[in-house]
Structure 1
Amino acid sequence: MTVARTVELEGHIIDSGMMQRCFGVVMDLDGNFDVEQFDVGEHKDEESYCRMTVTAPDEETLRSILHELHQSGAQLTDPPNARLEPAPADRVVPNGFYSTTNHPTQVRHEDEWIDVERIEMDCAVVVEPDERRAYTKVLNAIEAGDLVVTGEAGVRVDPPERPRGGSGPFGFMQGGVSSERPSASLIREIAEVLVETKADDGTVLAVAGPALIHSGAGDALARLVREGYVDMLSAGNGFAVHDIERGVYGTSLGMDVETMEHPRKGHKHHIYTISEVVRAGGIEPAVEEGLVEEGVMYECVANDVPYVLAGSIRDDGPLPDTITDAVEAQDAIREQAHEADMVLMLSTLLHSVAVGNCLPSTTPVVCVDINPATVTQLLDRGSAQAIGMVTDVGTFVPALAEEILD
């Protein structure tokens, strides 16, 4: 005896590959489909619509098919209200809770769709019925009694689509990674998006790794901060240490950034730098007393650009500004990610993935690294809205700054 449900797809379902993907899911999971209605958008700005009945040999198979279709943006034609269950204890979610994607999401409550606020992947959805409000919570923030969405019934996901012609201000950002792309033209397009984001009062977040300083691109990033094109910085203890070390000693991890030489006792410069900043009481006091007079961290302090320095187990020092509690650091990164309208991820795998996990799929992301695996890993972890450039960050950042400022 077969079981069946009817689903619908709407949007740029042909160009984005959504329809083909959904057909494949049904067949791969031993189901069948019958297309009842198919309306094709005849112009590039028109959407298409498909309604189909999905059949499966049993309920379990049908649930598996509907789960995969749900992830691709297909919706039931007769959606029920979302099922809410109270959390049994702090940091404990009900069995079968709905685990979010990073796509715009709605939940159905009392026969109305409610937008889920602060969307990010791998969270629970909490509903406040009296406020008619739904929002995400990470598992360690769940409190006993929170009404948590369980199952996928009554949940609607809207994955980003690619309209015909890749139109729109972020049309060229369609994901993927290649070292064969024309870097100059791509940098020019990224610069245009960044300028447009700022013109629309948007917020730009830079996620930076120590390699940016080692490669000599620190001055260019500092210039972008000074001129107002970077509004927030997310980095680690190492980035800040080497940036300040360069300003104080002219070296980064003991290497002269200009001559590529290793001066005598240069290997001690980074630990000397940490000691001096600790003695001053932190980065901001070090700037105020004149110890730090240039660099990215200097420009952040001088221009009131907030920064988050997340620590790791291998940090030297660390600097007083570094957040060493992992959960506290995650929360600080999460606040930045939710405020960002565009993100530049510059040569740092761990911090890029950490920020990427907190971003909704509607936030444009540019990820630059000389190692293709870094860029690929970010995209593989769900940041499908990211565009990847496999290139030297020491070339990319100065070229971007020159395109914007000169």
Structure 2
Amino acid sequence: MTVSRTVELEGHIIDSGTMGNCFGAVMDMGGEFEVEEFEVGRHKHAETYCRMRVMAETEADLRAILHELNQQGATVADPRDATLHEAPEDGVVPVDFYSTTNHPTFVRVDGEWIEVEDAEMDCALVVERGEPEDGERPRVQTKVLNAVEEGDLIVTGESGIRVEPPERPRNGGGSFGFMQGGVSSERPSASLIEEIADEMREVRETDGNVLVVCGPAIVHSGGRDALADLVREGYVDALSAGNGFAVHDLERDLYGTSLGVDTEKLEHPRKGHKHHIYTISEIARLGGIEEAVDEGVVDEGVMYECVSNDVPYVLAGSIRDDGPLPDTITDSIEAQNAIREQAQEADIVLMLATLLHSVAVGNCLPSTTKTVCVDINPATVTQLLDRGSAQAIGMVTDIGTFIPMLAEELLEE
């Protein structure tokens, strides 16, 4: 005996590939489907509607298929309210809790569709009912598992949940029209940089937020000064990096080297290999990066411009760090929360030459946030896509070339 449910798809589901993905998912997971209604949009802006019955051998198999279809944007027909169960204790969620995507999501509570706040992948959904007598609507928020508190109302199962993945533009045009996902070393860098610059100008003019995620290669590849210029001129609103990036940047100011190598002459000065740890010691002696700037010890570079222009930064530590600097957050949960706050404020994110921090920030971003990843290694963008940051576009190029070209485009008279 088979079990079945009916689901609906609506939007530009043909050209975006959504319909084909759903058909494929059903078959790959051992189910069957029958299209009951199909209305094709007959002009560029018309949407397509598909209603299909999904069948599986068991309830468990059907539930797994429905979960996959939900991630693709399919909605169960005649939806019921979401199923809610209380968290049994702090940091513990009910069995069969709904694990989120990073797409815009809506939850049906008391017959009303409520948009989820702060969309983020791999989280639980927590419902706050509010006080109807005071005119308060329910709220639904994402929570990472370690932030769940005993008694929180957690969404479980697939009922009463609607996901709306961003759709690819039909004509590739519009704002940030080149953002089609994927990675290629053949993309026309100059034209892409021009479009990125245009988007950054627009974000700046509308009081939006540009988040830059930085790797140490920026310093020793020659992109540091151009990035510092962008910070000084107001094109960077927040910076996320690791201990290594800040140390390289500060070492370049204090000693003219990066990891002991003279970045101008490409020579190894005597005792240059010690400059990295000397830098950490000097900044620690002064009490931190801001204190070093105030004392005049640090007077140029990216971190200097961040302090001088009140650009907030998060330095997240790792097990590999030397020192680390006093400003580096060594508690991983605290660092995640700090990155999460940055990500939720961002309108566009530039991920520059760092695999680990790009993935960390990408995990916190909603799929509606425009994201550009630049790295000499195509695996960096591939990793982002595999983790679910499908909105990321990748440029495979030298970061020391990209940042000066971007700065030239933005800062030209």
Shorter chain as denominator, the TM-score bin is over 0.9
User: How far apart are the structure 2 equivalents of 1:304 and 1:172?
Assistant: 32
Letter in 1 for 2:326: P
Q: Decide which moves more: 192-201 or 156-165.
A: 192-201
Within a 5 Å distance, the mapping from 1:349-360 to structure 2 comes to 349-360=355-366
Cα distance 1:376–1:97, how it changes in 2: closer, same or farther (>3 A)?
same
* Counterpart code for 1:30: G
Deviations 1:33-88 (A, max 9, x none): 22222222222222211112223333333222212211111111111111111111
Other-structure match for 1:271: 277
Alignment partners' CA distance in 2, 1:64 and 1:323: 39
Matching residue's letter, 2:270: R
Give the aligned residue type for 2:41. G
- 2:310 corresponds, among 296, 301, 304, to 304
| Alpha-carbon distance in structure 2 between the residues aligned to 1:26 and 1:294 | 57
1:343-367 per-residue CA deviation (whole Å, 9 max, x = no partner) reads 0000011111100000000001101
Partner of 1:165: helix, strand, or coil?
A: coil
Partner AA of 2:283 in structure 1? V
Does 1:404 find its partner at 2:388?
A: no
Q: CA deviation at 1:128?
A: 0.5
Which position in structure 2 is the counterpart of 1:91?
91
Query: Which of 170, 175, 195 is residue 201 of structure 2 equivalent to?
Result: 195
For 2:306, the aligned partner's letter is C
- Once the two structures are overlaid, the 10-residue window that deviates more, 179-188 or 343-352, is 179-188
What is the aligned partner in structure 2 of residue 218 from structure 1? Answer: 224
Instruction: For 1:294-373, list aligned pairs within 5 A.
Output: 294-373=300-379
- Give me the CA root mean square deviation: 1.2
Structure 2 letter corresponding to 1:16: S
Aligned to 1:158: 164
Shift in Å, 1:301: 0.3
Q: How far apart are the structure 1 equivalents of 2:13 and 2:227?
A: 39
Secondary structure in structure 2 of the residue aligned to 1:322: coil
Residue 171 of structure 2 aligns to a residue whose secondary structure is helix
Higher mean alpha-carbon deviation, 65-74 vs 99-108, is at: 65-74
Residue 136 of structure 1: aligned partner: 142
Q: Secondary structure at the match of 2:338?
A: helix
Distance 1:356 1:337 in 2: 8
Which has the higher mean CA deviation after the structures are superposed, 260-269 or 138-147? 260-269
Single out whichever of 84-93 and 48-57 deviates more from structure 2.
48-57
Deviation at 1:178, TM superposition (A): 0.8
Partners of 2:9 and 2:206 in 1: CA distance: 32
> Residue in 1 aligned with 2:261?
255
Following superposition, the deviation at residue 247 of structure 1 comes to: 1.1
Matched, 1:114 2:114: yes
Structure 2: how far apart are the matches of 1:63 and 1:202? 40
The size of the alignment, in residue pairs, is 406
Mapped to 2, the partners of 1:193 and 1:321 lie a distance apart of 31
What does residue 214 of structure 2 align with? 208
> Offset of 1:185 from its aligned partner?
1.4
User: What SS is found at the alignment partner of 1:134?
Assistant: strand
Equivalence for 1:71: 71
Distance 1:372 1:295 in 2: 28
The runs of 5 or more residues in structure 1 that have no matched partner are none
Partner of 2:10: 10
Equivalent residues of 1:45, 1:163 under 8 A apart: no
One-letter amino acid of the structure 1 residue matched with residue 211 of structure 2: L
Gaps of 5+ in 2: 131-135
Instruction: Note the alpha carbon deviations across 1:175-212, whole angstroms, 9 max, x for none.
Output: 10011111111111111122122222210000001011
The one-letter amino acid paired with 2:234 is G
SS of alignment partner, residue 357 of structure 1: helix
Match for 1:26: what amino acid? V
Greater shift in the superposed pair: 187-196 or 110-119: 187-196
Deviates more, 1:105-114 or 1:23-32: 23-32
Maintained 8 Å contact 1:91/1:140: yes
1:206-233 C-alpha deviation (Å, 9 max, x unpaired):
0001011010100010011011110000
TM-score normalized by structure 1?
0.98
SS in 1 for 2:167: coil
In structure 1, the residue matched to 2:103 is 103
Gap change, CA 1:88 and 1:60, over 3 Å in 2 = closer
How far did 1:260 drift? 0.9
Q: Which of 295-304 and 127-136 deviates more? A: 127-136
Moved over 4 A (4+): none
Any idea what SS the aligned residue of 1:115 has? strand
Contact in 2 for aligned 1:103/1:361 (Cα 8 Å):
yes
Shift of 1:258: 1.0
User: 2:25 corresponds to which residue?
Assistant: 25
Q: Which residue number in structure 2 is paired with residue 181 of structure 1? A: 187
Given candidates 150, 154, 174, the residue that maps to 1:148 is 154
